[in-house]
Structure formats: C-alpha cells, structure tokens
C-alpha cells in the first residue's frame, strides 16, 4: 500500500511538473483602474488576440500554451506599478511583459522589478521621452513612437488650422511633461504663441483656479495634455462651464469616447487631438481583418501596438528556443528587423516553421515597422482625431 501511494504521489508530481512546463507566461501590465481605465480594455484585448492566434497555430516552442497573467498599475501610482510588476516577475515567473501603459508605471515597474529580474518589457503605450533614457540593460522597448514626435505633430496640426495662440495645461508627470515640452517648443518655434502654460496634479476634483490662470492670457483654445478618465475630463468640464474657451485640443491620453460621453457630444464637437497611428501597410490591413473578426475595434488607441508587443515577444521566445529570460532581448531585436522573410500579423505558423528551419524573419506589424533603434524606440506616424457626431473619428495622418 505504501509503495502504491508513493508511486501515485510521484506520478502526480510528474504530472504537475509537466503541466507547469506546458505553459509560457507573458505578463500584461495595464491601467485597469485610474486615469486610462476606459482605454485599457481594448489594449489588453489586442495582446490577447495575439495570444489566441499563437495558441491556435501550434503554441510556443514544443506546443506550450501562451498564457497572460495581468497586473493593475492604476496608471499613476508608482507603488502599485512596482507591486504588480514584482508579482509578475517574482511570483508568476513570467518570461516577459507587455506593458506597462502609462510612462510613470513603466519606469517604476522596470526599475523596481523587471530590470533587476532580467525581464524584457515591451510597452505599447508609454510615449514619454523619459523611456528613451532609461538605464535598462536593453530590457525596455516600446512599439509606439516617442511623444517628442507626437508633440511636434500636434503643434503643427493646430497651426495648420489657423490656431495661432493657445493655453496649455499638462498633467504633472513624465507623460505630461514630455508631451508639453515637445508641443510648446515646436508651437513657439513655428510662430505660435502660448499665452499660458500650467502643470496640474492628477485626480483632483477642482481645477477652477488653474482654469482662471489659463484663461487670463486671452486665448480661446485650450490644449489639455492629460488623461481622459481623470484630470483631463474634469478640466474640460470646468473649462466649458467657465465660458472662457471655445476650442479644445489634446494628445493621445484624451482620445476616448468615454470622455465625449462624460462631457457631452455638443460640448466637445470639433475637439482636435492626435494619437500614434498605423501606416497603410499589408500588416495593418491584415490586423484590421483579424481584430474585426474577434469583435475588437482595430482603431482603438494602442490596440494595434499591443498586438505587436505580444506577437513580437512570442516570436522572440520562439527564436530564443526556450522560455528563459536570458537572451530574449537579442532575440527580440533579431525578429523585429531585417534581414529575414517578412512575417505579418496572424502568421504565427509560418514564422514558427521558418525559425525551426533556422531561417531569419522580419516582423512587419499591425502598427507598422517595428525596427527598434539602440534605445528600443520605433519610428511611427501620428494621426489626427476629431470629435464628430458624438465620437472621436480618425481624420488621417498628420502632415500628409
């Protein structure tokens, strides 16, 4: 009897070990609560779509299933971001991470958990220039262009529409500061006038004092560089109530239909914004088909970039030949850039076969080319958004 029980215990232990080995974990860090909580679900859906396609087309390595445990950074709480990342890195033992989304969360997660743990992070949404300068041992990448570019394009877009003076307020963190700096420098260099420029703290109930200062310069256009679900929403509502501003504009953090629903379609009709976009390439067209088939809005902010982040990490794991963290960074660079046969969204089975044959691949993604530079940044385009008939609509690439 004892021998039988022991044999059963050993068999059960082996089965558990086999089950554990049958999974490869790639974590997801998002702002499920806080300033971008309405933007996060479709971003997460983009990553899960890539995961689903990979699993349906043979899985990773020797048929292991890709799973995606997630963590909430709240967007603005560095401690929450660090704790969520620590759980993924040290408890869940993820191989890599998609995320985080807000820049401050990405920096906190990287410095306090991912970099010490040797875990590669690929953010689909952290746009602040501060990410470029991280001392990250080549572990932090992003599939979205820096705000150094978006800020320039927003400034040029407003000027092209004959808006020659603006008041600017920005959330006082890495995201807001970086976007404001790029926007203001370009707007003034191109001949525009910034009548007031004011930082504000997130998650407050009253910004009327700041709005008074912003309106004192006389501009009727207010540029809000903040988040749609927290300070950005409150400032727009109170700015409209003040009657001081006739035109509103913003960056990618403000592009969400929840903002229009909260403030009112009539209030925000004609609002101008920008966000990173996707070029007109075979990869983007294919992603649109895949996303629509899965019930995902392919134009949702950062959904395509999130799909690319997850797909690239899976390709890198396959290229690396194991779920080990070591060597993944170099493998990521290999699969993202030429030379190699082009791999498009959804072509996991093709990529897996080519890698098994020892051939090189070059992923051309849902949001465009993902050729990482020395800092882990990618080129990109910025698209114009506008509120029309109660919703944000895409008007096309800025500058074209």
Q: pLDDT tens, 21-62? A: 499 999 999 999 999 999 999 999 999 999 999 999 999 999
Better-scored residue on pLDDT, 179 or 19: 179
pLDDT at 334 over 60: yes
Q: Which domains does the chain have, with CATH numbers?
A: 23-146+281-369 (3.40.50.2300), 148-276+381-397 (3.40.50.2300)
pLDDT at 20 over 50: no
Q: What is the mean pLDDT of residues 223-248?
A: 96
Average of per-residue pLDDT values in the chain: 93
HEC string for the chain: CHHHHHHHHHHHHHHHHHHHHCEEEEEEEECCCCCCCCCHHHHHHHHHHHHHHHHHCCCECCCEEEECCEEECCCCCHHHHHHHHHHHHHHCCCCEEECCCCHHHHHHHHHHHHHHHCCEEEECCCCCHHHHHCCCCCCEEECCCCHHHHHHHHHHHHHHCCCCEEEEEEECCHHHHHHHHHHHHHHHHCCCEEEEEEEECCCCCCCHHHHHHHHCCCCCEEEEECCCCCHHHHHHHHHHHHCCCCEEEECHHHCCHHHHHHHCHHHHCCCEEEEEECCCCHHHHHHHHHHHHCCCCCCCCCHHHHHHHHHHHHHHHHHHCCCCCCCHHHHHHHHHCCCCEEECCCCHHHHHHHHHCCCCEEEEECCEECCCCCCCCCCCEEEEEEEECCEEEEEEECCC
Q: pLDDT tens, 248-273? A: 999 999 999 999 999 999 999 999 99
pLDDT at 90 over 50: yes
Residue 311: pLDDT band by 50, 70, 90 thresholds? Answer: very high
pLDDT at 13: 42
Share of the chain above pLDDT 70, in %: 94
pLDDT at 7 over 60: no
Q: What is the mean pLDDT of residues 243-251?
A: 97
Task: Report pTM.
Answer: 0.87
């Amino acid at each position: 009897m004892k021998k039988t029980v022991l044999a059963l215990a050993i068999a059960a232990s082996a089965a558990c070990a086999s089950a554990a080995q049958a999974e490869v974990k790639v974590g997801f860090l998002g702002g499920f609560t806080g300033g971008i909580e309405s933007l996060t679900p479709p971003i997460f859906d983009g990553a899960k779509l890539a995961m689903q396609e990979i699993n349906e087309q043979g899985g990773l390595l020797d048929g292991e299933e890709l799973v995606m445990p997630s963590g909430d950074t709240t967007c603005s709480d560095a401690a929450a971001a660090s704790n969520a990342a620590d759980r993924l890195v040290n408890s869940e033992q993820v191989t890599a991470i998609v995320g985080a989304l807000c820049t401050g969360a990405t920096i906190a997660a990287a410095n306090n958990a991912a970099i010490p743990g040797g875990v590669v992070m690929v953010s689909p949404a952290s746009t602040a220039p501060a990410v470029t300068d991280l001392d990250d041992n080549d572990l932090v990448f992003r599939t979205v262009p820096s705000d150094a570019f978006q800020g320039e394009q927003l400034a040029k877009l407003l000027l092209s529409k004959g808006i020659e003076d603006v008041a600017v307020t920005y959330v006082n963190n890495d995201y807001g500061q970086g976007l404001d700096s790029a926007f203001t420098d370009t707007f003034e260099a191109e001949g525009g006038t910034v009548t007031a420029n004011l930082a504000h703290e997130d998650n407050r109930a009253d910004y009327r004092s700041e709005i008074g200062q912003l309106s004192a310069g006389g501009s009727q256009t207010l540029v809000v560089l903040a988040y749609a679900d927290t300070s950005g929403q409150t400032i727009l509502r109170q700015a409209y109530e003040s009657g001081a501003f006739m035109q509103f504009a913003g960056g990618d953090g403000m592009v969400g239909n929840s903002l229009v629903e909260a403030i009112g379609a009539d209030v925000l009709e004609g609002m101008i914004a920008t966000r990173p976009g996707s070029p007109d390439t075979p990869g983007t067209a294919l992603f649109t088909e895949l996303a629509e088939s899965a019930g995902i809005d392919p134009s949702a902010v950062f959904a395509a970039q999130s799909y690319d982040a997850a797909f690239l990490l899976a390709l890198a794991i396959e290229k690396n030949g194991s779920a080990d963290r070591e060597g993944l960074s170099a493998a990521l660079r290999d699969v993202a850039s030429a030379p190699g046969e082009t791999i498009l969204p959804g072509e996991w089975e093709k990529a897996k076969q080519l890698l098994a044959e020892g051939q090189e691949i070059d992923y051309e993604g849902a949001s465009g080319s993902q050729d990482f530079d020395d800092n882990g940044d990618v080129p990109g385009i910025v698209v114009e958004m506008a509120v029309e008939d109660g919703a944000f609509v895409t008007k096309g690439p800025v500058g074209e």
